[in-house]
Every structure is written in structure tokens, then in C-alpha cells.
Structure 1
Amino acid sequence: MKKKILLITPENEEINRFRKSQFNNFIQITMPYLAAFIDENKYEITLVDEYNQRIPFEEKFQLVAITINTSNATHCYDISKKFRDRNTKVVMGGPHATLLPEEVKEHCDYIMVGEGEIIWPEFLEDFYEGKAKSEYICKEVPNLKNMPIARRDLIHKRYFTKGAVISSRGCPYKCSYCNLKQIYCEPFRTRPITEVISEIRTMKSKFFVFWDDNFFGDIDSTKELLMELKKLKKKWAAQVTLERCKDEELLKLAKEAGCVYFFVGIESFSQESLGSVNKGINDVNKYKSIIDKIHSNGICVQAGIIFGFDTDKKDVFKKTLDACNELGIDGATVSILTPLPKTPVYSQLKEENRLITGDWSHYNGKTRVAFVPKNMSREELFEGYMWFRREFYSLKSIYKRMRKSKTNIIYNLIVNWGYKISLSGTKSKFEYYE
């Protein structure tokens, strides 16, 4: 007899409001991917993404699976309690479960620690047979060969934003605010190119994203992939490291293969700040030449920017805006420094007694400040961050940046306008988030 399983991609209401009006919110691929491992002769699958769906608490399931990141942890615990109160079994996995398994165990019946390719199918079989263990720990490095194709057919609507695919896992670098080294096995791994291309062929939409943490992690492999991808005539985006964009051949291949934009972790325009978080691979003096090179190949730059480093002073917001306008940065994903558990930044701030709270909802990097900054107050950090976001997506700044970039103008305007609209309903005062 089939068991009913519910897979949940959680999204707390605060962050959902923050993201809702933006036009480039691609699906989180974890649950559609894990769904592909499930034997439908044994399980009836329901997939729910809280971005645009309601969790069916009133329905009866034998098993509920939830993937947890840190900022959603408290929300996920609430979801779990509602199901467990109805005698439904809950399994949890994901980054937060891997970082803090002892905490997460208190809120579920079963826990997945680490990467899931080996332990998730093992758990599913054990649960079906009625002999599931309380804990499954990834003890060997999963090979990315023969990965199943994500179950995009289970995704609700989101025609233009359901195309996400994995071609590699991990990152060669060790930035001290990032938790990739704590949640993934070493080493950096790539997926067979033929398998990546085969999965992309199954996507109906012309647009997709690579869900890799560093698409340029293995340049030789990426070049081979791009030469094959060119044949598909798709449009796509990927997260890359700025330093590796110096490679002209790589940029040319990316453009020919349909690349529209790169998400680039610039983080700061201060070399001192970059050095303080082990991001010395970024050279501020080379930003202009590399970004000009990306633009000259017809690719937009979506910059990741973080405010709140210990070297940041009150003038950092204006200086960053001026630099973005001058360089023609096409878009920006802006965050407040977030001390994620088990990272060096978290350890430092905890040791210095600068963490504000253990409530993980404050650790989202978008609407809260979870620590005491060094050279400004929490209020000044939050309001400076909000000021930057509003000014960056003001008509004046959009005009300056588009005039400088001259890259994919229509796409650029659509994305910038989406961010501008999303900001219109956002509170800007720090007190609102206390």
C-alpha cells in the first residue's frame, strides 16, 4: 500500500513578502530533486513550495519532509509541531540540520545530516519497511554521476522560474562568512556533462539557472559544458567568482552558449573588508577591468554586496552606491552580514559576545540585524542598508548604470523594475523589525 509523503520547501512570511514582487525568483531545486529519488510504487508524492502555495495541514500524510536553512529554522519547527501533533512523522534535512543536528533533532522524528544522495534513498526504503532510524548521516562523498532529473512536473505554476539545474557542488574558496565548507563534503565535484545537457533538454522554458555555488569552480570542465550548451540555444544565468572572469575564452564561450547574466560575489569595494573575511581572491583594483570585460561580452553583472563587516564605517553605503553607478553594475543582491552557525564569523562574534539573539529568524540577512556592528549601531547598519537598496533601484541610479553597462537593456530594465516595485512596500525603519 502506498504511503503519502509531503515535501515542503519552506518560506516564512517575512522573507516571502520581501521576495514576492521580484521577477527573477527561481525555484529552490532541493525538493524537486529529492522527489526524483522516490519510488512512486511505494509513495504518493505531494510537493509544496510556500513561495506560492499553502501547506495542506488538514490532509493526512504518513510522512512530511522539510528542508531547513537557518533563517527558516524557527518557522520549520512550527510546521513540524503542527504535523507531529496530528501523529504525522516528520523528517528534516538541509543546511541547518547539518550544522546543528542536536537542535534540529528536538523538532522532528528523523534527521538527515549532510548530502542526501546516499542517505535519502536509504531512509525512504527503511521508512516504507517500518524500520527507519532516527538519524542518517552522510559518511561518504556522494558521486554526482547518475543523478536523477529533478521532478519539475510537481512544481506548482512558475513556468518561467522552475528551470534550475546542478552541474557541480561546492566551492574552491573559504570565505569566513560562508557555510559551504561546513555543509558539503570535500572536494569540489562536477557532474558528467552529458547528464547535465540531458537534463537541460527536458526543460520546457527557454530560461534557466545553474544552481551551482561556483559555476566556474572547474574552468576546464565548464568550458566543455559551454560548448555543448551552445547547441541548445537556451538563455541562462549562473553564480561565478569575479576573479575567474578574467578568462576571455571562458566569457566568449558563456555568451555563445546563451548566458544572460552572472551573479558575482563582489561583497565589498574595500580591500580591507575583503581581507577581513578571507575574500582576498577579489581585487578591488581589478573590478573595473573585469566588469568591463564581462559587459563587452554581452553579459550582465548581478553583484552580491554585503554590509556590516567590522571594517565598514558609516560612509560605506554612499561609497558603494557611487562605485556601482560608476562601474555600471546591472543589479545587486544586497545583504546584511549574517553570522551563520559554525562559520568563522559566527565563532568570532559569539566569542566577542556580539550576537544579539539565538532566534534564527533574525539570521536572514535581509530584514534583521543579528549582531552588534563594530563601527555603527544596529539601527545605522539596517537603515544604511535600506537606503542603499532604495537608492540603487531609484530611477536616477538605474539610468546611470544602464547607460554605463549598455548590456541586455530590456532584460536589465525588467529586473531592475521588479526590485524597485518590491521595495515600494518594504518598511525602512529598524524599529519595525525589533
Structure 2
Amino acid sequence: MKITVIRVNMFEENSNDAMKPLIFPILDSLTPKRVEMIFFDDRIEPLPEKIDSDIIVFSAETFSIKRAYILAKKYKKDNNITVIGGFHSTVMPEESGLYCDCVLVGDAEDTWKKMIEDYMKGELKKKYISEFSKELGYIDYYHRAFKEKKYQPIGVVQFSRGCKFDCDFCSIKSMYKGNVKQKKWDIIEKELKNFKEKIIFFIDDNLLYDRESFLKFLQIVKPLKKRWACQISMDIAFQDDILKKMQESGCFLVLIGFESLNTLNLQQMNKKANLTVKDYDRAIENIYKHGLLIYGTFIFGYDYDTLENVRETISFAHRHNFTVANFNPLIPMPGTKLYERLDKSQRLLYKKWWLEEEYCYGDTVYQPAGMSPEDLKNLCKDARFEFYSVKNIFKRLIRNKLHLSFKNMWIYLLVNIVSRREIHQKQGRILGGRWNENNLDKT
């Protein structure tokens, strides 16, 4: 028996910023040894014209789901089955079921093995639903699936899944509605000790789940003498003792969702961590004081945004010389409270924007309250292009003294060059490719 797993890309062409997809070693660890496993990463390598496997599995999220459906149709034969799993299929299983033989809903830890067993018995079900009850297991970060594939030279680690907050725009909560799931300490310690890369990025949605567990995590990572970065919530900004321990344990960069400078917007999006921080300027100064770089993310298009205050936010990002910044148009992801709210108020321009023939990356998919859809799209595009212009990359390099150390400088230049390239390649491109007579009709 042979299974092929494909990590699906947003577009038909390759990306430059891909990191190792952990779904490969996770699925392999759950698969009986007698089953042959083949792995393709659509983001960085060409897919074969034909695939001779009993089961072909597509791992996709909302931005790549259209391409997953196109590929599922392309590779479907009378003697194989197609399976789709990931975030999108978890919240839209009925839709995904129209384009494949089987849908995996939720975590693979308690759906994957059952799906294979049923297939072998000739009793495959249309849908397998996770109970989110299985513990997170050991991941082989040097799995054979990654060999001869060119990823960014950064180690990727997952300590937990889910987030303690409930922002209305975030798709994470639509999948992980309950508490955060964390790995056992002996597993994470074993994984980290086996790491070869000098730089590690923790892809957890929010590494600061609670103070006690985070302090224990810092004790484990400090002796490894690695440089690491993470996604973390704004409530870290004035916890000086933790910021100090983070820096001492090797942390050099934190990704923080600022989202908006407008309190009314933060209230509407239920961004609780940010609402407790009254002064972003002081928060940034305090994080910098502890030697940590900042990757700031912003969302434009909430109801209290105007053209003027969005421009003020863009100036704010330049003024603070962030290492990296994202300026994203508000995207109502399926399964989120935001999507439900905009749908109920009939403000969605497309019911299923991710399947629209003409939808391009960066387009606005709903009617903003304070500007036109076209204005919002252009604001975000211009902000991205301006922030990553060659002139501004070098301005931010020079104006933030933390960038000027040798250890930080090469990372700064690498991420900015890659980000600039990706922004210009992605902006305005149609997701997934075009539907044609060989693809299933949209439903």
C-alpha cells in the first residue's frame, strides 16, 4: 500500500519563504510501518504529472484550498482515493467533501490511523472527526521527507496548539475551541536537544500560555544555547523578569500582533491582551530595552479604521523600525466570529472568496465601514511595498541599534530580502490557479 502526502501551496509557482511542514513527520509517525509514504511540498518543488498511490492526501488551509481541490480532481483515478485535511476542511468539511473521497476534520492524531484501518478493510468513511483528545507526540524534525528539499535555514518547533485568547478574526480558535494543548516536558526537551540548527522558530500560536509553564520552558531551552524566536501576546510587554529570562535563554525576536492603534477596533476584535497595554510606545521601548527584536503585525479594515488612522499606523511601524512587519487587509476566515458577523450583516462581497475565479491575494472580500474595498486593498499593498523598499530596509537597519550587531544583521537582511521578494510575487496573484472544464464546478 502506498500513500502520497502533498503540502499544498497557495499558487502554482514556488515560494521563497517555506519552512519545514511538520505534518509530514507527524503523519508518518502515525502510519503502520508496512505502508509506503511519499511526500511532496508543493511550495518548493514541482509535482509529478501522475501519482501512482492508493491514497493521495492534501494538507491545505483556506488560502491554498482552491488549489487542493484542483489537484484532487487532477490526481483522482478509479483505483485511488483522495483525502483533504487541515484548517479549512476542519471548519468547512461539507464543502471539502464535494472535492474528495474523504475529509479529515481536526487533528491527525486521532483521525489518520482510523482512516487507514478503514481503507484497508474496505470500509472507508466520508469523514473522520477528531475529538482533540490525543496528546502531542514526538516529532522527527530531520525526517526523510525533508531531505533534498530547500527550506529556510531555520529550525521549526511546535510546543503547543491553540491560544488562550479568542480574537474574532482568528481561525485558530475555530479549530481549537478548548484549552491549549501542550507537549509533555520530556518530549519537548528531547526534541530540542536533537536540534542541529542554531536558530529556532517556535510556531505556537502564542508561546505564553501561562506564566508557570513558560518559565519552565525557558529553563529547558536556556542550556541549549540556541537563538530562538516565537509568536507571543502583547501581555509580555511589561513582564520584565520574563523578558530578561527570554533574552538570557537565547530569544532574539518576538512576533506580536499589534493589529490596530485604535482602542475601539481592539474592542471589536476582542484583542484582550492589547487592551491591557495602554501605551504601545512604552511597550515597544521596554521590549527593545531587553534586547529583543520585534516582528509586528497589523490588520486594516475594522469598522473604526479610516484612511487617515491607517496611514498613522503605517507611520507608527516605520517610526519604531520593526525588524519585520505585516500589513494585512482584514480577511474574514470561515469558521470565525468575524466571518459570521460580516455574513449576517450582508457585507461579504463573496460568500466563498477562497473559491472565486478572480480573487487575488491582497484583494478585499467585504465592504469596510470607513473606506472602499479598493482603498483598503491599495493601502495595504502600498504599505507593504513601502516598508520593504530597498531604501526603507536600510533605514530601519541603521536606525535600530539592535539590528547592527553581527548576529542580528544577517538575520535582518535575510528576512527582509525574502519578505520583499514574496510580497512582490504574491500581491495580485490569483489563488490556486484557474478553474477549467476539468475541475469540479464550484458549489
- TM-score calculated relative to the size of structure 1: 0.89
Matched with 1:248 is 240
Matched with 2:400 is 405
The alignment partner of 1:47 has SS state of strand
Matched with 1:158 is 150
Query: Could you tell me how far 1:61 is from its partner in structure 2?
Result: 0.5
Amino acid at match of 1:195: I
Asked if the contact 1:36–1:151 (Cα under 8 Å) also holds between the matched residues in 2, the reply is no
Residue 29 of structure 1 is aligned with which of 12, 22, 29? Answer: 22
Matched with 1:196 is 188
Residue 276 of structure 1 is aligned with which of 265, 268, 272? Answer: 268
Deviations 1:32-88 (A, max 9, x none): 322222223x21111111111122241300111112211222211111111224542
Residue 370 of structure 1 is aligned with which of 357, 365, 377? Answer: 365
Residue 64 of structure 1 is aligned with which of 51, 56, 68? Answer: 56
The residue correspondences of 1:20-419 to structure 2 (distance < 5 A) are: 20-22=15-17, 25-40=18-33, 42-85=34-77, 87-144=79-136, 146-150=137-141, 152-155=143-146, 156-158=148-150, 160-161=152-153, 163-283=155-275, 285-357=278-350, 358-361=352-355, 366-409=361-404, 410=409, 411-419=411-419
Asked if the contact 1:26–1:209 (Cα under 8 Å) also holds between the matched residues in 2, the reply is no
Deviations 1:350-375 (A, max 9, x none): 11211122241569994222112121
Distance 1:371 1:392, change over 3 A: same
Amino acid at match of 2:272: G
The alignment partner of 2:247 has SS state of helix
Asked if the contact 2:165–2:272 (Cα under 8 Å) also holds between the matched residues in 1, the reply is no
Distance (Å, rounded) in 1 between the aligned partners of 2:203 and 2:127: 27
Distance 1:394 1:234, change over 3 A: same
Asked if the contact 1:170–1:212 (Cα under 8 Å) also holds between the matched residues in 2, the reply is yes
Query: Could you tell me how far 1:318 is from its partner in structure 2?
Result: 2.0
Quick one: percent identity of the two aligned structures?
27
The alignment partner of 1:46 has SS state of strand
Distance (Å, rounded) in 2 between the aligned partners of 1:159 and 1:428: 24
Count of residue pairs the alignment pairs up: 423
Distance 1:207 1:66, change over 3 A: same
Asked if the contact 2:254–2:294 (Cα under 8 Å) also holds between the matched residues in 1, the reply is yes
Asked if the contact 1:8–1:65 (Cα under 8 Å) also holds between the matched residues in 2, the reply is yes
Distance 1:361 1:400, change over 3 A: farther
Distance (Å, rounded) in 2 between the aligned partners of 1:428 and 1:148: 36
Amino acid at match of 1:28: P
Query: Could you tell me how far 1:104 is from its partner in structure 2?
Result: 1.1
Gaps of 5+ in 2: 435-443
Q: After alignment, is 129-138 or 359-368 more displaced?
A: 359-368
Matched with 1:5 is 3
Query: Could you tell me how far 1:425 is from its partner in structure 2?
Result: 5.2
Gaps of 5+ in 1: none
Distance (Å, rounded) in 1 between the aligned partners of 2:423 and 2:65: 25
Distance (Å, rounded) in 2 between the aligned partners of 1:398 and 1:180: 31
Asked if the contact 1:167–1:196 (Cα under 8 Å) also holds between the matched residues in 2, the reply is yes
The alignment partner of 1:261 has SS state of strand
Asked if the contact 1:9–1:48 (Cα under 8 Å) also holds between the matched residues in 2, the reply is yes
Distance (Å, rounded) in 2 between the aligned partners of 1:427 and 1:365: 7
The alignment partner of 2:413 has SS state of helix
Distance 1:29 1:162, change over 3 A: farther
Asked if the contact 1:271–1:280 (Cα under 8 Å) also holds between the matched residues in 2, the reply is no
Asked if the contact 1:339–1:345 (Cα under 8 Å) also holds between the matched residues in 2, the reply is yes
Distance (Å, rounded) in 1 between the aligned partners of 2:74 and 2:80: 9
The alignment partner of 1:117 has SS state of helix
Distance (Å, rounded) in 2 between the aligned partners of 1:389 and 1:162: 24
The alignment partner of 1:38 has SS state of coil
Distance (Å, rounded) in 2 between the aligned partners of 1:353 and 1:89: 38
Distance (Å, rounded) in 1 between the aligned partners of 2:112 and 2:142: 16
Asked if the contact 2:25–2:139 (Cα under 8 Å) also holds between the matched residues in 1, the reply is no
Amino acid at match of 2:233: T
- TM-score calculated relative to the size of structure 2: 0.88
Q: After alignment, is 319-328 or 172-181 more displaced?
A: 319-328
Distance (Å, rounded) in 1 between the aligned partners of 2:376 and 2:222: 44
The alignment partner of 1:341 has SS state of coil
Asked if the contact 2:25–2:143 (Cα under 8 Å) also holds between the matched residues in 1, the reply is yes
Query: Could you tell me how far 1:399 is from its partner in structure 2?
Result: 4.4
Distance 1:429 1:97, change over 3 A: closer
Asked if the contact 2:367–2:373 (Cα under 8 Å) also holds between the matched residues in 1, the reply is yes
Asked if the contact 1:302–1:331 (Cα under 8 Å) also holds between the matched residues in 2, the reply is yes
Query: Could you tell me how far 1:426 is from its partner in structure 2?
Result: 6.1
Distance (Å, rounded) in 1 between the aligned partners of 2:265 and 2:81: 46
Query: Could you tell me how far 1:260 is from its partner in structure 2?
Result: 2.4
Query: Could you tell me how far 1:387 is from its partner in structure 2?
Result: 0.9
Distance 1:135 1:82, change over 3 A: same
Distance 1:427 1:112, change over 3 A: closer
Matched with 2:437 is none
